[in-house]
Amino acid sequence: MMNVLLIGAGAVGTYFCGRLAQGGAKVAVVARGDYEVVKERGYHIRSVAGDFDFHPAAVLKDSADYQETPDYVIAATKVLPELDLVGMLRPVIRSPKTVIVLIQNGIDIEKTVRAAFPDNELLSTIAYIGVSRPARGEVLHQGSGNLKTGVYPSGISESAKRLAAAFGAGGVKCELCEDIRFVRWYKLLWNLPFNPVSVLAGRVDTRTMTDRAELEKLCWSLMLETIAVANACGVALSEKDARSQMEYTREFPAYKTSMLQDFEAGRELEVEAILGNAVRLAHQNNVPVPKMEACYALLKSVNLHRS
Amino acid sequence: MMNVLLIGAGAVGTYFCGRLAQGGAKVAVVARGDYEVVKERGYHIRSVAGDFDFHPAAVLKDSADYQETPDYVIAATKVLPELDLVGMLRPVIRSPKTVIVLIQNGIDIEKTVRAAFPDNELLSTIAYIGVSRPARGEVLHQGSGNLKTGVYPSGISESAKRLAAAFGAGGVKCELCEDIRFVRWYKLLWNLPFNPVSVLAGRVDTRTMTDRAELEKLCWSLMLETIAVANACGVALSEKDARSQMEYTREFPAYKTSMLQDFEAGRELEVEAILGNAVRLAHQNNVPVPKMEACYALLKSVNLHRS
């Protein structure tokens, strides 16, 4: 039986680990804010694909309380500067056989974990899902629900295949990607313009960003800057990718980006994973990114002053 | 006796015309929102230099009701796209002897008035004052209170001297400027970065914008772009001017920009006079202004979505 520990039991992590448990994996969870509720009655997941309950094999207050050696540790925390993911992983990474799985947003987010645990395989994973946590112990799944995964920095391994199969058994399509870095940049090509602009332009939805000429132009410019940085980093994003992201967004019903949802809920924004890392990579590679810099400065400040 | 008509009786216009009246001018006012109150009891001006009342020689609901031929028409409206200043001026400009005085923010704001009344002298005027309108018929004057004026596009005329003297008689320092266009750009060098960023960066004061490294850098970049546009338009702004503006701002006590005050009060923002015209001049002159464009797109959207 596959032994899994989840660190970062937000909406995304809980949903996918609930599916893993449905597929037969033994899943323990480090719960924080909702420890008491989950310890008592597990998670209730309201899903477009049918509601279900997820009773973790163990509910822990701290990763240090975990006594086993997991096959996979899934880290699904947000990427925030003050969140010490390495410190949370340290107590449970007891063997090089444990595979670390990051289900996180942004680019260049694997480095610190890679450096701290050089002997453990690292699966970089990206989630495509509409999911939120309306109350303690509850998850609301509203759309999609797929994953893409691959070995960091590249390749497909036996452990990746085993994990994908375990997700498949739980009903989750988990695609194996030879070049997960490209996939991450491709997702950033959407996230980098639309997440910050949705907040900075006065809380606007995707329809407003594609319909209002000056916002569409700004998003497009941010996409072009993203492509330039990606290319400088050896990632073959192209304008064609940007066009298809833009068309997809135009055709999709209007919706609020995850960053706008975070902002309106008063939660911290993933400024660094989405914008900061891209700006830093641009500077390291001497790529001019004036619009990215402007949005980064404004968003960093907004993040500090959110009410 | 000097005959003056004020159009745009906001805080700025009312304050300065109150001073003109104190100096002995005969001042009529077109009042809108506070017509009833002002008609009955005039304006009460609470001022750091001593409170005073301003009883206009006439209070009108519409400029078309004005029957005289004024020596000076002072237009102190905000510069907003839907505000038809030319239409408001048309009924009262009956003679080429009437001098039009614009006390307004921004650059390139004289053009439409110049084109509509080519035979009238146009005095472009800039106010330096901390003033607001806390209630109908009331003005609160908290600091400064000087003017700079000059013939548009350049020069000093007899009418300019006469107006400056009339302000002087009312206790207002009104400096005559040979090159009022430069003065306007110099003020824009401050307004263009600090006004938009104060709103976009999460409602921050001047201290925050100069203290927080990334915001100070963004403001500085916007200043450099402003200088480049000014230079392309033949206005000799330089980095030295930007440095002195930045130092002045650093040393000044923290305060909220006028645009942030407008935003917090739910009032329309002067996006076009401050940013839009500068961006358009940049495009006409092929000057790259990527950060200005980003802020313009965001601010335009914020202005539409302000609550």
Contact A6, A13 (CB under 8 A): yes
Question: What's chain B's length in residues?
Answer: 307
- Same CATH fold, A182-305 and A3-178? no
**Chain B neighbors of A217, CB-CB under 8 A:** 293, 297
Q: Phi/psi of residue B216, each to 5°?
A: -60, -40
Q: Which of B290, B301, B306 sits opposite A212 (nearest CB)?
A: B301
Q: Which tokens in the block code for residue A154? A: 């590249």
Residue B184: what pLDDT? 96
- Mutation site, B260, B291, B301, interface A, largest A CB count within 10 A: B301
Low-confidence ranges of chain A (pLDDT < 50): none
Residue B32: what pLDDT? 85
C-alpha count within 13 angstroms, C-beta hemisphere, residue B257: 27
Residue A307: what pLDDT? 59
Residue B212: what pLDDT? 95
Q: Is B266 on the interface with A (CB under 8 A)?
A: no
Q: Phi/psi of residue B118, each to 5°?
A: -65, -20
How would you classify the pairing of strands B174-176 and B52-54?
unpaired
Secondary structure tally for chain B: helices H, strands E: 13, 10
Of residues B49, B55, B51, the one with CA closest to residue B17: B55
Q: Do B218 and A297 touch (CB under 8 A)?
A: yes
3-state secondary structure of B297: helix
What CA dihedral angle connects A68, A69, A74 and A78, to 10 degrees? 70
> Per the omega criterion (within 30 degrees of 0), is the bond before A153 cis?
yes
Low-confidence ranges of chain B (pLDDT < 50): none
**Chain A neighbors of B297, CB-CB under 8 A:** 201, 214-215, 217-218
Quote the mean pLDDT of chain A.
95
Residue B154: what pLDDT? 96
Tally of CB atoms within 10 A around B21: 24
Contact A66, A37 (CB under 8 A): no
Residue A130: what pLDDT? 87
Secondary structure tally for chain A: helices H, strands E: 13, 10
CATH H-level, domain B3-178: superfamily? NAD(P)-binding Rossmann-like Domain (3.40.50.720)
Residue A245: what pLDDT? 95
- Mutation site, A215, A218, A220, A224, interface B, largest B CB count within 10 A: A218
Amino acid letter, B191: N
**Chain B neighbors of A302, CB-CB under 8 A:** 200-202
Contact A26, A57 (CB under 8 A): yes
Shortest CA gap B267–chain A (Å)? 15
Helix axes B213-232, A290-305, angle to 10 degrees: 140
Beta bridge partner(s), residue B99 = B72
Residue B235: what pLDDT? 96
Q: How would DSSP label each residue in A9-52?
A: -SHHHHHHHHHHHHTT-EEEEE-STTHHHHHHH-EEEEETT--E
Q: Is A306 on the interface with B (CB under 8 A)?
A: yes
b/e per residue A228-238 (b: at least 16 CB within 10 A): bbbeebebebe
The ipTM is: 0.88
3-state secondary structure of A8: coil
End-to-end C-alpha distance for chain B, whole angstroms? 46
Residue B307: what pLDDT? 59
- Mutation site, B198, B199, B207, B214, interface A, largest A CB count within 10 A: B214
Interface of B with A in 161-200 (CB under 8 A): 197, 200
Residue A2: what pLDDT? 96
Tally of CB atoms within 10 A around A144: 12
3-state secondary structure of B99: strand
Contact A38, A6 (CB under 8 A): no
- The CATH architecture one would assign to domain A182-305 is Orthogonal Bundle (1.10)
Where are the domains positioned within chain A? 3-178, 182-305
Strand residue runs (E) in B24-137:
26-30, 43-47, 52-54, 58-60, 72-75, 99-103, 122-132
